[in-house]
């Protein structure tokens, strides 16, 4: 009898252990449990810790309550100013109502992903390119509102939405680079023109100051010469006033005999010298030695030009007195 009692007790303990093993469930700290009994939600959400269910009757579904980071695939669209772009983003959300996330939507992660992609394409079509590049905070808020509105009924709260990258075509990148370069050049020219304007005002004031004392200009010239010569230059250029050149030009002219002004004769343009008669060599007394013939080279294609001796040219004999 005692052995049968001990065997029954041991059997009950084994059955209890098997039942406990089948009925016991552990819910982690970051999870919540939704209990379904015969397909119906029973009671409130099971808190973290050890919980028991009825085997073969109840089913406990655990829901993660952590913040989920969901990347949105790159979406291609046309902005309001007709520019084709590719934009990708990331969504941060978490489940606040485990029962609604399990009952009201089949797969809440997939639903949030599709809603985020649709909202991102809608934001691209409503925005300009400049807004996508520079005003992302406003677009992030609008995108978060568009995703969060339907997700509230699913027991999901969207914490943050961020646009990660905006991809532009290569032609648009080159156009924007040229635009930025032109804007930089425009600002550089404006700054340079402003500097020239201020410098001209200061130079005008300096000229008025030097007009009272002409020696100041000479001293300034000497200072400039000293500054240039200190650089060990081999060439020194001195500015000459135009008035000095006019003065030298007037002084170079002489008055003509009839009272009119005229330029000085150029000594380089003097009349050519007349060749002298060759000396008499090996000639008899009272006779003139004939000169050699002179032949000039004619121009190409023309006849030869021949000159006879000097004795053939008639010339006047000098008067001789009877005594000579």
3-class SS shares of the chain: helix, strand, coil, % to 5: 45, 20, 35
pTM for this prediction: 0.55
pLDDT at position 271, please? 46
pLDDT at position 184, please? 93
pLDDT at position 309, please? 47
pLDDT digits (tens, 9 = 90+) for 105-146: 888 999 999 999 999 999 888 888 888 888 888 888 888 888
pLDDT at position 282, please? 47
pLDDT at position 212, please? 80
pLDDT digits (tens, 9 = 90+) for 60-71: 899 999 999 999
Domains within the chain, CATH numbers bracketed = 2-63 (no CATH), 68-172 (3.30.479.30)
pLDDT at position 228, please? 75
- What parts of the chain have a pLDDT lower than 50? 261-263, 266-286, 288, 291, 294-296, 299-318, 321-322, 324
Query: Distance between CA atoms of 89 and 91, rounded to whole angstroms?
Result: 7
């Amino acid at each position: 009898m005692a052995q049968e009692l001990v065997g029954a007790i041991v059997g009950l303990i084994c059955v209890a252990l098997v039942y406990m093993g089948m009925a016991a469930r552990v819910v982690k700290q970051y999870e919540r449990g939704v209990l379904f009994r015969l397909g119906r939600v029973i009671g409130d959400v099971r808190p973290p810790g050890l919980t028991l269910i009825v085997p073969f009757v109840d089913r406990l579904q655990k829901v993660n309550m952590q913040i989920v980071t969901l990347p949105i695939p790159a979406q291609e669209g046309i902005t309001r100013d007709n520019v084709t772009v590719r934009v990708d983003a990331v969504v941060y959300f978490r489940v606040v109502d485990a029962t609604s996330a399990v009952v009201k939507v089949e797969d809440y992660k997939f639903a949030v992903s599709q809603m985020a992609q649709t909202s991102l394409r809608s934001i691209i079509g409503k925005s300009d390119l400049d807004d996508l590049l520079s005003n992302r905070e406003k677009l992030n808020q609008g995108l978060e509102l568009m995703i969060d509105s339907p997700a509230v009924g699913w027991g999901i709260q969207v914490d943050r939405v961020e646009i990660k990258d905006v991809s532009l075509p290569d032609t648009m990148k080159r156009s924007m680079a040229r635009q930025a370069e032109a804007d930089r050049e425009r600002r550089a020219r404006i700054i340079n023109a402003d500097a020239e304007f201020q410098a001209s005002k200061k130079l005008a004031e300096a000229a008025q100051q030097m007009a009272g004392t002409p020696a100041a200009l000479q001293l300034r010239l000497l200072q400039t010469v000293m500054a240039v010569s200190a650089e060990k230059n081999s060439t020194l250029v001195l500015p000459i006033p135009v008035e000095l050149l006019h003065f030298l030009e007037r002084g170079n002219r002489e008055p003509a005999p009839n009272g009119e002004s005229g330029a000085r004769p150029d000594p380089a343009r003097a009349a050519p010298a007349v060749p002298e008669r060759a000396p008499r060599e090996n000639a008899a007394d009272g006779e003139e030695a004939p000169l050699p013939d002179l032949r000039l080279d004619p121009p190409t294609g023309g006849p030869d030009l021949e000159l006879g001796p000097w004795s053939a040219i008639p010339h006047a004999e000098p008067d001789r007195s009877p005594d000579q």
